[in-house]
Structure 1
Amino acid sequence: MSDNDEMSMSDSLISLQSNEPVDDQPEQNGLSFQTWLTMTSSLAHRISLPILRTFFNPTAQLVAIRSVVAIAVIIWIIMTSLTSYVTFYRHFMPKQMHIEPVYLQYMHTSLSKCINPEGWVDLRRGTEYGPLRHGNFMVKVELLTTNGSTVAHGSRPAILAYQSKTHRILRVLTGAVPLLMGLTQESQNLYIPLMEEYVENYKTPITHIRVLLSTCRLQVYNATVQLRTNFHGLRYYMYHYRIPTATVFVVAFAIIELICAAFAWRLIVRIFWSNQEEKVQEQTPQEYTYEYSSDASGIDPHD
């Protein structure tokens, strides 16, 4: 064998050896992808299988349905209990404060005669030198019914707080800017309690209130009458302890609703199942049993 033949054979072997890895690389890549796909699918199957078994399990479905129904019933009971308490509170609790304006009526009179102003007591009055010199004055209130009869009345004395000339000058100087801009006025607010512990009679309800001043020389900017309710018993706790009483009433309403719902459910189930059992009994064929007795001779008629 010549040298040329040996060289050609070695070249062919080298080419074959160099081509083998190139041909095997796609096969190795394909196997690795298939392995990865198999591992991924098996992992997904292992994860999803317990979830699907739980989801499609009849027992799990029954538990889920019962849980949803129980949550819906609880939310419904809480909402209806809150609505019931709010409705009860609005109808049972009266308004705690009534504030109405008082319009004083003045008549034209001579300087020697003065008619007391009337209004249908919180007074806001000017602090001029004239009213300060009048001293004490009386404020009277009368509670009237529809026909104008007086049910109750009360009167109290009142007086403006004394202010010396120096005090007034210093006060005006310190508040000069708001006074010039019209933001404040030289006035005093008087709160005069006229009646306490009055209990209204439902047969003769109060429809009008008359306020009387003992002098007409008072400079009154405005006046209001305030009726404040003093609660007793259950109303006292519902007004002063709102959150605890609301909690107690909501829980009580919820318990009552649960009891009523349980009785209603039992009644419905009893009626429904009794009707279903009657229908099933009507549809099923009745089985009859016959008893044969022998006659006196001892011979069976069927033999």
Structure 2
Amino acid sequence: MADSEFTDDETEYEGQSSQVVVLDALWAPFRVLFSRTALRIYLNTLLFIGATIFLVGISGIAYGIFYLRFIPTVGVDREVHLQFGDGSPWGTASFESEFVSSQAYDVAVVLDLPRTPSNIDAGNFMIDLTLYSPQTSSVLPTASNSVTPISKSRRPSTLTYSSPLVDLARRMVRLPLYIIGWRREAERLEVPMMEKLAFARGARNLPQNLRLEIESEKKLHIYSARVEFRARFTGLRWFMYRWKITSFVVFSSMFWTVSVTTASVTWLLLNWVLGSAPTSTDEDEIKDEEEQALVKNEPEAEDSGSSSDHVKVKKEEPEDYLGSSLLLQSYAAEGDEGGIGSGLESSETPGMQKRRSHLKEYDI
């Protein structure tokens, strides 16, 4: 009877221990996934992804700023209001910071002239264009203005010749347009004044004012005059201007690569510097690992103790039964039936108490 009780207890304990082993085996992968090292890796990964996305936006903004600073304004136009009176008609205009140093520009003067008999009879006339730096005190043609201009050019021009017959035929064809106001009897002259004009480095070498003068022996009739600057791109500027999307992708990727590389190297250096010295967190982790190791070793010790107690109980069992049998024999020899009953009770009581005490110890 006692052997069966101990066997059941052993079976129950072995079942509980096997359940603990199974649960520990199932929880082991999750323990690794949610350890402090794993959480630190997750945090670093999230920070790296966030920093990467942030650097993508920064790279796009950096390329936009670089494009605006590196690529100048393609076309700069200025209307010149000519002044008529004594002498040739002339006019001035001013610029802001719209030019870039070491960039080639083509400069042209655009005149809108009516085809009047006097303009046709004027024949060739001269166009004089002068660019002045910001330090110029005056652009008026006076003897006191001794400042050297940045650039100066004089070019000839004239209205296009057409015979009277051709001119009459052209007018007859365009007569309806002239009547409704869609066209007018005028000619637009575009006179190239400077080609591949590049300004030296420095704000003082960039033009801020210009002076335009129309020189003719006869009086000219002019509708309007305008000076145009057209940037002539070469090399990298030409590629960035002609292939905007491709250049955006290429240079943004370059900016992003440099930014990510710099951030990664900085992050690794910080981790190396901060990780070289022991911190309180590392000490806490070491203590936690030692405590976990001790907790794992304690059940093994308890298991060994319980098994030894069980062995002792089994060893003491025969002695208990031997003592009870001797008592029964002594009472039987005296021939006292009442004594036999009391002897039986007294003999069974110590044995049962011992077994119960052993069972309690085993349960504890």
RMSD: 3.3
Q: 1:261 aligns with which of 260, 263, 272?
A: 263
3-state SS of paired residue (2:227) = strand
Provide the rounded CA distance (Å) in 2 between the counterparts of 1:276 and 1:64: 22
- Quick check: 2:52–2:260 contact (8 Å CA) kept in 1? no
Provide the rounded CA distance (Å) in 2 between the counterparts of 1:72 and 1:280: 27
Greater fraction helix: 2
Quick check: 77-86 or 261-270, which moved more? 261-270
Encode CA deviations 1:124-171: one digit per residue, 9 max, x unaligned.
110122211121111111112232432321111111111222323322
Question: Where do 1:210-289 residues align within 5 Å?
Answer: 210-215=211-216, 217-270=219-272, 273=275, 277-281=279-283
Q: Report how far residue 174 of structure 1 moved.
A: 2.2
2:187 equivalent in structure 1: 188
3-state SS of paired residue (1:226) = strand
Distance 1:243 1:279, change over 3 A: closer
Q: Report how far residue 254 of structure 1 moved.
A: 1.2
Amino acid at match of 1:243: I
Q: Name stretches of at least 5 consecutive residues in structure 2 with no aligned partner.
A: 1-29, 93-108, 139-146, 288-364
Q: Report how far residue 213 of structure 1 moved.
A: 1.0
Amino acid at match of 2:211: R
Alignment pair present for 1:162 and 2:164: no
1:84 equivalent in structure 2: 62
- Quick check: 2:91–2:213 contact (8 Å CA) kept in 1? yes
When Rg is computed on C-alpha atoms for both structures, the one with the higher figure is: 2
Identical aligned residues as a percent? 24
Q: Report how far residue 241 of structure 1 moved.
A: 3.6
Runs of 4+ in 1 over 4 A off after TM superposition: 56-74, 271-276, 282-285
Distance 1:81 1:283, change over 3 A: closer
- Quick check: 2:132–2:208 contact (8 Å CA) kept in 1? yes
Amino acid at match of 2:199: E
Provide the rounded CA distance (Å) in 1 between the counterparts of 2:31 and 2:155: 82
Distance 1:122 1:57, change over 3 A: farther
Provide the rounded CA distance (Å) in 2 between the counterparts of 1:152 and 1:163: 35
2:90 equivalent in structure 1: 118
3-state SS of paired residue (2:64) = helix
Quick check: 66-75 or 228-237, which moved more? 66-75
- Give the TM-score normalised by the residue count of structure 1: 0.63
1:103 equivalent in structure 2: 81
Alignment pair present for 1:134 and 2:129: no
Q: 2:53 aligns with which of 66, 75, 86?
A: 75
Amino acid at match of 1:116: S
Q: Report how far residue 210 of structure 1 moved.
A: 1.0
2:315 equivalent in structure 1: none
Distance 1:284 1:156, change over 3 A: closer
Amino acid at match of 1:211: L
3-state SS of paired residue (1:104) = coil
Quick check: 59-68 or 174-183, which moved more? 59-68
Q: Report how far residue 190 of structure 1 moved.
A: 0.8
Provide the rounded CA distance (Å) in 1 between the counterparts of 2:285 and 2:119: 101
Provide the rounded CA distance (Å) in 2 between the counterparts of 1:253 and 1:182: 55
Q: Report how far residue 119 of structure 1 moved.
A: 1.4
Q: Report how far residue 272 of structure 1 moved.
A: 5.4
Provide the rounded CA distance (Å) in 2 between the counterparts of 1:273 and 1:72: 23
Q: Report how far residue 245 of structure 1 moved.
A: 3.0
Quick check: 64-73 or 183-192, which moved more? 64-73
Provide the rounded CA distance (Å) in 1 between the counterparts of 2:285 and 2:240: 60
Provide the rounded CA distance (Å) in 1 between the counterparts of 2:154 and 2:80: 16
2:26 equivalent in structure 1: none
- Give the TM-score normalised by the residue count of structure 2: 0.53
